[in-house]
Structure 1
Amino acid sequence: MYSLLLAIIYIAFISLGLPDSLIGAGWPVMHTALGVPIAAAGLITMLIAGGTIVSSILSDRLTHRFGAGLVTAVSVLTTAVALLGFSLAGQFWQLCLWAIPYGMGAGAVDAALNNYVALHYAARHMSWLHSFWGVGAAISPYIMSFALSSGQGWTGGYRIVGLLQVGLAAVLLVTLPLWRQGKQPTPVAAAEPVQPATAPLHLAQIIRITGVPFVLTAFFVYSAVEQTAGIWASSYLVQSRGVAVDTAASFASFFYLGITGGRFLSGFIADRLGDQRLIRWGAILALAGIALIVLPLPTPLALAGLIIAGLGCAPIFPAIIHATPTNFGANRSQAIIGVQMAAAYLGTVFMPPLFGWLAGRVSMALFPLYLFFFAIVLLAVTERLNQVLDREKSRFE
Structure 2
Amino acid sequence: MAMTHARFSHKTLILLAYIGFISLGLPDAVHGIAWPRIRPEFDLSQVGLGSILAFGGAGYLLSSFFTGKILSRMHVGTLLGVSTSFVALGLLGYGFTTSWPVFLICAFLIGSGSGAIDGGLNSYVSKNFSASHMSWLHGCYGIGATLGPIIMTQSLVFGTWRHGYLILGLCMTSLAMAFAWTRSIWEIPATSPDKAKPESAPPATLFEALKSKSVILQALLFFFYAGVEVTVAQWSFSLNTGRYGMSIELAGLMSVAFWVSLTAGRFLMGFLVAKLGIDHLLNFSFLGACAGAVLLNVPLVIASTLAHVVLGFSLSAIYPLLMSITSRRVGLRLTDYSIGLQVSAATLGIMIVPTIAGLISQNIGLVGVPIVVVVTAAVLGSLHLLARKPARGSAG
Same fold (TM over 0.5): yes
Task: Give how far 1:280 is off.
Answer: 2.0
Q: How do 1:184-223 residues align onto structure 2 when only pairs under 5 Å count?
A: 184-189=191-196, 195-198=200-203, 201-202=205-206, 204-223=207-226
Whole-angstrom CA distance in 1 between matches of 2:377 and 2:244: 22
Q: With the length of structure 2 as denominator, give the TM-score of the two structures.
A: 0.93
Matched, 1:160 2:160: no
Is the 1:221–1:377 Cα contact (8 Å) retained in structure 2? yes
Task: Give how far 1:303 is off.
Answer: 1.8
Structure 1 residues without counterparts, runs of 5 or longer: none
> Could you tell me which residue of structure 1 aligns to residue 41 of structure 2?
33
Is the 2:76–2:187 Cα contact (8 Å) retained in structure 1? no
Aligned Cα root-mean-square deviation (Å): 1.9
Matched, 1:106 2:114: yes
Secondary structure at the counterpart of residue 271 of structure 2: coil
* More off after superposition, 176-185 vs 320-329: 176-185
Question: Aligned match of 1:374 in 349, 353, 376?
Answer: 376
Secondary structure at the counterpart of residue 332 of structure 1: helix
1:85-138 Cα shifts (integer Å, max 9, x gaps): 111232432221211111111111110100100111110000000000110001
> Could you tell me which residue of structure 2 aligns to residue 142 of structure 1?
150
> Could you tell me which residue of structure 2 aligns to residue 275 of structure 1?
278
Matched, 1:66 2:66: no
Is the 2:285–2:314 Cα contact (8 Å) retained in structure 1? yes
Amino acid at match of 2:205: L
> Could you tell me which residue of structure 2 aligns to residue 334 of structure 1?
336
Is the 1:28–1:38 Cα contact (8 Å) retained in structure 2? no
> Could you tell me which residue of structure 1 aligns to residue 266 of structure 2?
263
Secondary structure at the counterpart of residue 242 of structure 1: coil
Change beyond 3 A, Cα 1:167–1:295? same
Matched, 1:310 2:315: no
Q: Structure 1 segments of 4 or more deviating over 3 A? A: 184-190
Is the 2:127–2:196 Cα contact (8 Å) retained in structure 1? no
Is the 1:30–1:154 Cα contact (8 Å) retained in structure 2? yes
Secondary structure at the counterpart of residue 72 of structure 2: helix
Question: Aligned match of 2:13 in 5, 10, 14?
Answer: 5
Secondary structure at the counterpart of residue 183 of structure 1: coil
* More off after superposition, 34-43 vs 179-188: 179-188
Whole-angstrom CA distance in 2 between matches of 1:145 and 1:172: 28
Whole-angstrom CA distance in 1 between matches of 2:266 and 2:289: 14
Secondary structure at the counterpart of residue 293 of structure 2: helix
Question: Aligned match of 1:115 in 118, 123, 129?
Answer: 123
Whole-angstrom CA distance in 1 between matches of 2:329 and 2:355: 32
Whole-angstrom CA distance in 1 between matches of 2:231 and 2:202: 37
Is the 2:223–2:349 Cα contact (8 Å) retained in structure 1? yes
Is the 2:360–2:369 Cα contact (8 Å) retained in structure 1? no
Amino acid at match of 2:353: M
Question: Aligned match of 2:353 in 346, 351, 375?
Answer: 351
Whole-angstrom CA distance in 2 between matches of 1:205 and 1:47: 29
Whole-angstrom CA distance in 1 between matches of 2:351 and 2:103: 18
Whole-angstrom CA distance in 1 between matches of 2:72 and 2:179: 18
Is the 1:118–1:322 Cα contact (8 Å) retained in structure 2? yes
* More off after superposition, 40-49 vs 14-23: 40-49
Is the 2:287–2:381 Cα contact (8 Å) retained in structure 1? yes
Task: Give how far 1:54 is off.
Answer: 1.0
Task: Give how far 1:194 is off.
Answer: 6.3
Is the 2:130–2:192 Cα contact (8 Å) retained in structure 1? no
1:279-335 Cα shifts (integer Å, max 9, x gaps): 221111122222222124x31231221111011100000111111111111121001
Percent identity, aligned pairs only, is 28
Task: Give how far 1:196 is off.
Answer: 2.6
1:346-394 Cα shifts (integer Å, max 9, x gaps): 111122122222212221121111111111111100111124x36x47x
Q: With the length of structure 1 as denominator, give the TM-score of the two structures.
A: 0.93
Question: Aligned match of 1:290 in 289, 293, 296?
Answer: 293
Structure 2 residues without counterparts, runs of 5 or longer: 1-7
Whole-angstrom CA distance in 2 between matches of 1:175 and 1:349: 35
Is the 1:127–1:263 Cα contact (8 Å) retained in structure 2? yes
Q: How do 1:35-50 residues align onto structure 2 when only pairs under 5 Å count?
A: 35-50=43-58
